[in-house]
């Protein structure tokens, strides 16, 4: 398997996604757009594209963020989908997948930062790639927005604060608004970016304090993510 990451910011690190790929001996490559690395011109040599999160939105312009070209990323995602590659989007990445498929992102009903349980929907409990999560699973969050829905998409998981946490757009294309890739190292990077807000927040009910976030054991959600990725990779490699 050849796994390509699009990383928007140094503090939006791949975390457990990269741990998974390296542990299985997969070939990994990156477009670190924050370091002005370009998006590949061709998806032919990629098996799995993982588009990570970021503080931007799909509507962020080049004038607002010169290193983030949403149109180029959306076009590359469309190319991957057209070639029947596997695609996983995380947070902003999930919103970009939806945009690539013609669905517009929206604001989430609640801002979520920290660890909160998601609930699998009926469709989620039937989805063989994620039903090992069980009816409820504590996962990471760091967002304001959520992905759009297409006519063929299925919402597989929700939270009290956000009705679109995991979305299946096809057998090989999944959007995760949540962050199951969090590790102690990743959350420290994120906390450093927003510590003043986290410490002083008294408005948002789904925003945790830094010590709560950093003291969580992320191993179980990482393992659940690894199992999802293993199932996705096996189905992708076993297709006729």
pLDDT by position in tens, the chain (length 240): 999 999 999 999 999 999 999 999 999 999 999 999 999 999 999 999 999 999 999 999 999 999 999 999 999 999 999 999 999 999 999 999 999 999 999 999 999 999 999 999 999 999 999 999 999 999 999 999 999 999 999 999 999 999 999 999 999 999 999 999 999 999 999 999 999 999 999 999 999 999 999 999 999 999 999 999 999 999 999 985
Beta bridge partners of 167: 155, 175
Q: Which residue has the tokens 């983030």?
A: 68
**Which residue(s) pair with 158 in the sheet?**
119
Quick one: pLDDT at residue 163?
98
| Three-state DSSP class for residue 24 | coil
H helix or E strand, kind and range, residue 216:
none
Residue 195 parent element (H or E) = helix 184-200
Closest CA relative to residue 15, chosen from 24, 25, 5: 5
Residue 239 is predicted with a pLDDT of 80
C-alpha to C-alpha distance for 64 and 47, rounded to whole angstroms: 32
From residue 201, give the alpha-carbon distance in Å to each of 111, 139, 184, 209: 11, 21, 22, 8
Contact yes or no for 153/174 (Cβ under 8 A)? no
Please report the DSSP string for 226-240 in residue order: HHHHHHHHHHHHT--
Q: What does each C-alpha distance from 138 to 165, 181, 217, 225 come to in angstroms? A: 12, 12, 10, 12
Whole-prediction pTM = 0.97
| Tokens (6 digits) for 137 | 């699973």
CA-to-CA distance for 13 and 3, rounded, in angstroms? 15
Q: What is the pLDDT of residue 240?
A: 57
Tracing tokens 């970009």 back to the chain, one arrives at 96
Domain 2-237 part of CATH 3.10.129.10: no
């Amino acid at each position: 398997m050849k796994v390509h990451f699009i990383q928007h910011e140094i503090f939006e690190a791949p975390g457990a996604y990269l741990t998974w790929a390296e542990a299985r001996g997969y070939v990994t490559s990156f477009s670190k757009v924050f370091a002005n690395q370009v998006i590949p011109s061709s998806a032919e040599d990629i098996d799995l594209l993982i588009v990570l999160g970021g503080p931007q939105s799909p509507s962020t312009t080049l004038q607002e963020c010169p290193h983030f070209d949403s149109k180029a990323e959306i076009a590359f995602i469309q190319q991957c989908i057209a070639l029947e590659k596997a695609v996983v989007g995380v947070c902003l990445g999930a919103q970009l997948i939806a945009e690539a498929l013609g669905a517009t992102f929206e604001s989430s009903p609640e801002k979520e930062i920290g660890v909160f349980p998601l609930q699998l929907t009926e469709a989620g409990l039937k989805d063989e790639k994620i039903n090992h999560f069980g009816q409820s699973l504590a996962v990471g969050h760091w967002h304001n927005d959520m992905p759009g829905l297409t006519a063929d998409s299925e919402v597989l998981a929700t939270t009290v604060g956000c009705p679109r946490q995991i979305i299946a757009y096809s057998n090989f294309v999944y959007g995760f608004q949540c962050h199951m890739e969090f590790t102690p190292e990743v959350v420290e990077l994120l906390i450093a970016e927003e510590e003043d807000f986290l410490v002083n927040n008294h408005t948002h009910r789904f925003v945790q304090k830094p010590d709560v976030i950093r003291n969580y054991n992320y191993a179980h959600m990482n393992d659940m993510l690894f199992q999802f990725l293993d199932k996705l990779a096996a189905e992708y490699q076993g297709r006729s």
